[in-house]
Amino acid sequence: MKKAIVYLNQFFGQIGGEEKAGFEPEIREGQVGPAMQMAKTLHAEVTHTIICGDNCMGSNPEETCAKILAMLDGLEFDIFLAGPAFQAGRYTVACGLICKAVKEKFGVPVVTSMNVETPGVNMFRKDMYILKGANSAAKMRKDLSNMVTLANKLLDGVAIGPAEEEGCFPRGIRHQVWRKDGKPASERMIDMLLKKVNGLPFVTEMPIPKIDRVPIAPAIKDLKKAKIALLNTGGIVPVDNPDRIQSASATRWGRYSIEGADGLEGGVFKTVHAGFDPAAADADPDVITPIDALRALEKEGFYGALHNWFYTTVGTGTTESEAARMAREIVPYLKEDCVDAVIMVST
């Protein structure tokens, strides 16, 4: 049988109330409090219960998590469950913190439950399954049952459905689903249209997310000393495309030496970008990666030096999340090479 470990705070762990909120974490064999109820229907044996005071976790989260992770070292478990935390603010944050730490270290699925009004929801919903919990422990039975239902799907390898069906907070992930009723877009369009035009409530199928804004970096103090790198999403690569960067929906990037080069030549470099007419860029790649112009400015002493490598990916159809991941991979190279600024050419 698979194995589970449950995390509870001092109150549900039957240590005490607010006066015991500083309780240092302990691990106990077997099931305490709500863990006993979970064990009845969970498709795993609850082997241990961890109990920790909310203030202990709240005032010293890193050290407390490290202590708990050390307790788990060497134990076999297939899933980690925390809570339910209801509307107890500190408890929700504690559940989120320990679930995130356990998931990162041990790679097992984690499940918790919190009320929508608590801080834990927005802090952790992108990191784990958080079930929509009640606002008081009077609903313990229901919240526990919801946690066990989802945990059993994870244990049994059953596909997890949309957040609304599972009763979870959305994790910032959107996928296409074949509607069970097969209702075509044209009928959904009419429904939404009539509701909106008649002033009735309607539900959009694409809620507008909060847009991530990147702050503008501070200006370079002395351009004459700056080392500048050239990056592009226009797909300029050596003609054999050695990194096999995709023509659209790119997940790959490459960097190519331009040491000593006064420009890129057609026939040696080309574009693999499929989102525009490639003729001009194939004939003269410098229209996208203006190495010729940058060299001229470098010789004039307008800025310090052009970095010896330029970086390439393809922008068409490439998602913002893949682009961010590629940036995280590229940035360490640029830092290691002491690049002061980059020019990003988009197409």
Residues that bind another protein (CB under 8 A): 160-164, 170-179, 182-190, 192-194, 196-198, 202, 204-209, 211, 244, 246-249, 251-252, 272, 274-278, 316-317, 319-322
Q: How far is the CB of 208 from another protein (least distance, A)?
A: 5
Instruction: Give me the least distance between CB of 191 and another protein, in Å please.
Output: 9
DSSP letter for each residue of 45-103: EEEEEEEE-HHHHHHSHHHHHHHHHHHHTT---SEEEE---TT-HHHHHHHHHHHHHHH
Which residue lies nearer to another protein by CB, 2 or 325? Answer: 325
Q: Name which of 73, 82, 61, 90 is nearest 127 in CA terms.
A: 82
Contact 287, 264 (CB under 8 A): no
Q: Would strands 227-232 and 79-82 be described as parallel, antiparallel, or unpaired?
A: unpaired
Which residue lies nearer to another protein by CB, 202 or 302?
202
Residue with tokens 């847009």, as numbered in its chain? 211
The sign of the torsion formed by the CA atoms of 55, 58, 59, 65 equals positive
In the complex, the smallest distance separating the C-beta of residue 233 from another protein, rounded to whole angstroms, is 12
Shortest distance in whole angstroms from residue 148 CB to another protein: 20
266/304 with CB nearer another protein: 266
Closest approach of Cβ 232 to another protein, in Å? 16
Closest to another protein by CB, 43 or 252: 252
Q: In this structure, are residues 47 and 3 in contact, taking their beta carbons and an 8 Å threshold?
A: yes
Q: Which residues of 257-287 are buried (b: 16+ CB within 10 A; e: fewer)?
A: ebeebebbeeeebbbbbebeebeebbeebbb
Decide whether 97 or 272 has the Cβ nearer to another protein: 272
CB nearer to another protein: give 300 or 320.
320
With respect to another protein, which residue has the nearer C-beta, 55 or 247? 247
Q: How far does CA 251 lie from the centroid of its chain?
A: 16
CA distance 86 to 114: 5
- Reported as type and span, the H/E element at residue 150 is helix 140-156
Mind giving me the DSSP string for 274-324? Answer: -SS--HHHHH-GGGTS-HHHHHHHHHHTSSSEEEEEEEE-B-TT--HHHHH
Residue 201: CB minimum distance to another protein, A: 11
In the complex, minimum distance from the CB of residue 150 to another protein, in angstroms, rounded to a whole number: 12
Write down the least CB distance from residue 55 to another protein, Å: 34
Return the structure tokens found at 206. 């694409």
Tokens linked to 67? 């202590």
For the bound state, the minimum distance from the C-beta of residue 106 to another protein, rounded and expressed in Å, comes to 21
Identify which of residues 66 and 194 has a Cβ nearer to another protein in the complex: 194
Residue closer to another protein (CB basis): 141 or 244: 244
